With several copies, the nearest count.
Chain A
Amino acid sequence: MNLIVEREKGLVELEARVTALRERDAASDEVRVLERKVEELRRDIFGHLTPWERVNMARHPKRPIASDYLAALDRFDELHGDRHFRDDPALIAGFAKLNGRRVMVLAQQKGRDTKENIRRNFGMVSPEGYRKARRLMELASHLGLPIVTFVDTTGADPGIGSEERSQAEAIAACLTTLTEANVPIVATIIGEGGSGGALAIALADHVIMAENAVYSVASPEGCAAILWGDSARAPEAAEHLKLTSQDLLGFGIIDEIVAEPLGGAHRDAAGFVGRMLATIDNALAGLAPLSADALRDARYTKYRRIGARRDESGPRMASVLT
């Protein structure tokens, strides 16, 4: 069960009571007292989220998912298929208009219910999905359309079929194609950004993260399993991984955070989605004047400097092994 959903229960009840009372008599003392209590409760629950609570927030069943963002665009027309093997429903892609701007959108799509989650493979993309993404990145380059991505996945699909069709190659090819792209790229981390499966569509000129989204080298469960052989220690791993938006802004791995309402994006989904789209539009406006070469050079430098540390006192050519 989702931690946040658990905690919200009392709050949601109380909020309903306040609404009901307010309808009867908005000025009553009882309403005012309860309103203050709601406020306190909210701050109490959501004021200082731990990393593990953020992970739960990012996985909240009511959190806006890719389709909510797509629905809020001026217009969206889905394009399908990798032209070779399959259309992967875990990755939605297509032409869109965002504030009148023509763009190519790539999005990892979870389901709202079990049935859709099965169809969407819980947002875990298969090689075909990455190959569709790659094809459309190239089309965007060809047509001069900026690329906008929505990242929301625990990680790339780890199934037999995905290994048989080279998940590794599919992800590497996406990274290569984003490196080559001659158009602006804006990536958003809207929920979970898990591992290479997320990065495959997040190598970008500008990376925007929802305040309570998480973005990490591995899912906390995966990290705990790898390091300690025990995925139940995920909360502890989350603590270590520095996967929150604030952490990542500090490291220069993301460029911008879109604040969420206290209690999470789902508490004002339409408002939050709108702010996210406006933030994307703003980033695109900033990148629009840049030439293809300038974009690619800046993109190279952006990633080039992450983790570059040279002990300048040491020798450059250290040793000759004979």
Chain B
Amino acid sequence: MPVPEWLRLRRDKNVQAEDASLWEKCPKCNEMLYRKDLGASQWVCPRCGYHFRMHAYDRINSLVDGDFVEIGTDILPTDPLGWVDKRPYKAKLDRDREKSKLSEAVVTGFATLDGFPVALGVMDFNFRGGTMGTVVGERITNLLEEARRRRLPCIVFTASGGARMEEGMLALMQMAKTTQAVQRFMADGNLFMTVLTDPTTGGVSASFAFQADLIVAEARAAIGFAGRRVIEQTIRQKLPDNFQTAEFLLEKGHVDMVVDRRELRETLVRLLDYAVDRSRLTPTLKAVPEFALQ
């Protein structure tokens, strides 16, 4: 699986999922929104503030100063269990690749945010529901190892339905792998931040998502360990509407803050400014792609 998509992606900043229609209906206020406007407003409904799920590259474009140097694109999925149900796993991967314009459920690389060089990982629900298989685990681990080598802060945006069933126990083991990588990274005194976006559940929430120094939740995102349906089936009753929302988690003390997407970049920059000593960044770390390609 070579890289042709990326070349296309470079040109189109607001690449979106396969549905190429011009209009999108806000599921909260029913407003019909022009996709191009939505792209410009970071996929937040200008009328009611509803946060659409965001494509990884749109997210990256909304955050970084200039260039984004992607790494880990040579880490690509295989079919370790030879899984076939309705369709073979490989076919599912092909379809998601086509539909999402992504090679897997996370994009990793380097960039600067208001001049702060950071290692950045962004998960995308459009690819297999953001599930963590071996590629997500390996790319996140690789990102943390590369960031550790360069002593850069690392920020990961999570969006995940949990572990990827079709990779079985190999998927589950990515929880152990990523947790270990985070622990090593943080033990060196580096800053690890996560931004939990809609939805963040299962194996991703129970590993690196909730292991961070700072945990920011995007407004109204659904976040938890067990899925809502599983809980409802277990307790045999409907859950309150706010259950497992970012706001609920804030009250329960699970996250440091809840931020509206439109203020997210500014907030992250402010947090970096507190947590990272800007004066100690070496000149080579200040520019991309120089530092990333070391």
Contacts and interface: CB of A to CB of B under 8 A. Distances in A.
Interface of A: 75, 77-88, 95-97, 102, 128, 132, 139, 142-145, 156, 158-160, 162-169, 171-173, 175-176, 179-180, 195-196, 199-200, 203, 215-218, 222-223, 225-228, 236-237, 240-243, 247-248, 251, 253, 299-300, 303-304, 306-312, 314-322
Contacts of B229: 225
B40 interface: no
Contacts of B174: 306-307
B7 A319 contact: yes
B57 to A, nearest CB: 7
Contacts of B168: 216-217, 240-243
B138 A308 contact: yes
Nearest to B244: A163
B234 interface: yes
A321 B80 CA distance: 31
B73 A175 contact: no
B253 A172 contact: no
B199 interface: no
A311 B181 CA distance: 21
A241 to B, nearest CB: 5
A311 B182 contact: no
B29 interface: no
A2 to B, nearest CB: 21
B21 to A, nearest CB: 25
Contacts of B135: 307, 309
B284 interface: no
A71 B83 CA distance: 41
Interface of B: 1-3, 6-7, 9-10, 57, 60-61, 66-76, 78, 80-81, 83, 85, 109, 133-135, 137-138, 141, 161-177, 179-184, 186-187, 189, 191, 202-203, 205-211, 213-215, 224-227, 229-231, 234-235, 239, 243-244, 249-257, 267, 270-271, 273-275, 277, 289, 292-293
A196 B180 contact: no
Contacts of B226: 156, 158, 162-163, 167
Contacts of A242: 81, 168-169
A29 to B, nearest CB: 50
Nearest to B136: A307
A85 B252 CA distance: 5
B182 A176 contact: yes
B210 A169 contact: yes
A177 B78 CA distance: 31
A192 to B, nearest CB: 13
Given A77-B270, A167-B225, A307-B134, A321 B173 contact: no
Contacts of A237: 165
B180 A303 contact: yes
B71 A317 contact: yes
Contact of B78 (A79, A200, A309): A309
A195 B138 contact: no
Which of A97, A300, A309, A320 counts the most chain B CB atoms within 10 A? A320
Nearest to A155: B226
B231 A304 contact: no
